[in-house]
């Protein structure tokens, strides 16, 4: 089974956010084919939650097409801290996507979400 292209996945994710009543935007466009996707959920109070690709070791045999994990231990972090994490990720992989979701309730719409 082939993996869904990143551009198609992001487009579907943006639509899902819109349907759920959350505003979402592509902050950084990565590789159309296989760029890693990072999702920042902005609670509009200076705090954000940041999610990135879950490691393959988090799955048994049947890995989902895409799964995400929180990139920090607390529920939320300061926006500046999230920016620093994303800057480090960009130094490692310049083909990544960054999607920002604005939602006061902190909904991320990511399934499956692998605990840290």
pLDDT digits (tens, 9 = 90+) for 69-84: 999 999 999 999 999 9
User: Among residues 71, 84, 80, 90, which one has the least CA distance to residue 29?
Assistant: 90
Q: Which residues contact 43 (CB under 8 A, 6 or more apart)?
A: 49, 76, 103, 104, 105, 106
Of the two residues 30 and 116, the one the predictor is more confident about is: 30
* CATH class for the domain made up of 6-102: alpha beta
Tens of pLDDT, residues 16-60: 999 999 999 999 999 998 899 999 999 999 999 999 998 866 555
pLDDT over 70 at 92, yes or no: yes
**pTM value > 0.85:** yes
- What is the per-residue pLDDT for 30? 94
């Amino acid at each position: 089974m082939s993996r869904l292209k990143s551009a198609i996945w992001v487009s579907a994710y943006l639509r899902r956010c819109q349907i759920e009543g959350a505003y979402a935007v592509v902050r950084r466009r990565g590789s159309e084919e296989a760029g890693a996707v990072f999702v920042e959920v902005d609670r509009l109070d200076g705090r954000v939650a940041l999610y990135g690709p879950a490691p393959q070791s988090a799955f048994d045999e049947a890995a989902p097409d895409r799964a995400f994990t929180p990139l920090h231990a607390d529920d939320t972090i300061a926006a500046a801290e999230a920016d620093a994490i994303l800057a480090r990720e960009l130094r490692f992989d310049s083909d990544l996507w960054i999607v920002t979701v604005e939602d006061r309730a902190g909904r991320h719409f990511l399934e499956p979400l692998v605990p840290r």
